Amino acid sequence: MAETTKFLLSEDAIPTHWVNLLPDLPGEPLPPLNPQTMAPAGPPDLTPIFPMELIGQEVSGEPQIEIPDAVRDVYRLWRPTPLFRARRLEQALGTPAHIYYKYEGVSPAGSHKPNTAVPQAYANAQAGVKKLTTETGAGQWGSSLAFACSLFDMECEVFMVGSSYDQKPYRRSMMQTWGATVHRSPSTLTQSGRANEGSPTGSLGIAISEAVEVAAQNEDTNYALGSVLNHVLLHQTIIGQETIAQMEMAGEEPDVIVGCVGGGSNFAGLTFPWLRRKLRAGSGPRFLAVEPAACPTLTKGVYAYDFGDTAGLTPLMPMYTLGHGFVPPPVHAGGLRYHGDAPMVCALLKAGMIEARAYRQNETFAAALDFARAEGIIPAPEPAHAIRAAIEEALAAKEAGEQRVILFGLCGHGNFDLAAYDAYLAGTLEDPEFSQDDMDTAVAQLPEGAPSLA
């Protein structure tokens, strides 16, 4: 009898609720702060750019939150997503480890991002908002929000990080196909953009500043964020819930779960339902967050209150940060070029509940090629980091002569990232790394007057 490669759930298995890990975190959660008063930020600080439904989700202490029927109806277009056993990769590595990956590239936009774009667009549409602004790095988030806005008859304006705007023109075309307006960031359209004209490759922090600035100045316009905030991570937990059911179908429990991290939504979506089980049961898998060596927020950042954007328009958030003024080198994993990380992910790392690891650009693309040549899917540069870590775990199991069950998130395909593969195959891909001078600059840029988290 043939062994199973794909583990598929039916549409009636789409989760009915999102998992809110906030009440399970150890200790009292650190609040975001109003940068003017240094008091905890409340709804009045957020209502100029977010609807009350999402603000409620952001601060909720409920262990789960019901998914609206209208959102679940849209999810049916691509969910549940498949879980694969990477049998051919296992054979190529000669490892006794069992490798599984959850593939989110089957969504209309080709990544995990529509999981939150749809509920965000729906909540804003219900509140009467006519237009959403946002930032995007590699373009996965911008294309996902453009798709979601088209479903609810809303306008969408996207500020795309300059390096990715140049590297990934077809992501821009995708957004425009769904009706979005796309600007290269930094742009001349906003004060935040003009102030950063000296950093032409841009960053997610600059693009966020531009999008927030436009939203705050227009009454019928709100802002949507593709990662970092609690409600965004909440929406992504359908990924992990589905994998729990699918791993039960496979008859195995993971020993380690791996996800790439930029702002944290992909990692949280895969791991948070498993983390809840571990926190409540007292035992469970290891959790490994993987990031670029060029933007090593979790592995080299300082744990402090910092702005979520470059211009300082957002509340201060407790997180590992490389400094809100840091502009990462233009690596091809554009979705991971963010100076900070989700406060919930950072709190877990601070508490020792997850591990973090950083990889250079060339070694991640080497792993991506190994994966593509074994499994057939060309991965996006972002999850190539998770593939690299999964391969290392599998080879460690081989060296130890032990069986190990590895689960990683393949959060998107790389069909729009072939210029990056061209550079790798031509031997011209660079390996920039974060320096001590970068770290010293980051610490010097931290906001004054914020409470210490050391």
- Residue 175 to residue 157: CA distance in whole angstroms: 9
Pairing relationship of beta strands 17-19 and 64-66 according to DSSP bridges = antiparallel
For residue 62 the two structure tokens come to 């409920």
The amino acid occupying position 63 is P
What is the per-residue pLDDT for 29?
Answer: 85
The CA-atom distances, in angstroms, between 208 and each of 47, 203, 216, 227, 354 are 17, 9, 12, 11, 27
Would you say 383 and 138 are in contact if contact means Cβ atoms under 8 Å apart?
no
Beta strands in 93-180 (DSSP E): 98-103, 131-136, 155-161
The CA-atom distances, in angstroms, between 217 and each of 8, 64, 222, 250, 321 are 46, 34, 10, 51, 28
Is the overall model pTM greater than 0.85, yes or no? yes
Written as tens digits, the pLDDT of the chain (454 aa) is: 679 999 999 999 999 999 999 999 988 889 999 988 999 998 888 888 899 999 999 999 999 999 999 999 999 999 999 999 999 999 999 999 999 999 999 999 999 999 999 999 999 999 999 999 999 988 999 999 999 999 999 999 999 999 889 988 999 999 999 999 999 999 999 999 999 999 999 988 899 899 999 999 999 999 999 999 999 999 999 999 999 999 999 999 999 999 999 999 999 999 999 999 999 998 999 999 999 999 999 999 999 999 988 888 889 999 999 998 887 777 766 677 788 999 999 999 999 999 999 999 999 999 999 999 999 999 999 999 999 999 999 999 999 999 999 999 999 999 999 999 999 999 999 898 888 888 888 788 889 888 888 6
Would you say 343 and 303 are in contact if contact means Cβ atoms under 8 Å apart?
no
For residue 275 the two structure tokens come to 């983390």
CATH number of 70-110+231-443: 3.40.50.1100
Instruction: With H, G, I as helix, E, B as strand and everything else as coil, classify residue 136.
Output: strand
- Residue 328 to residue 354: CA distance in whole angstroms: 24
For residue 232, how far is the Cα from the chain centroid? 9
For residue 104 the two structure tokens come to 């989110």
- If phi over 0 gives left and psi between -120 and 50 gives alpha, with beta otherwise, what is residue 407? beta
Say whether the peptide bond before residue 40 is cis (omega within 30 degrees of 0).
no
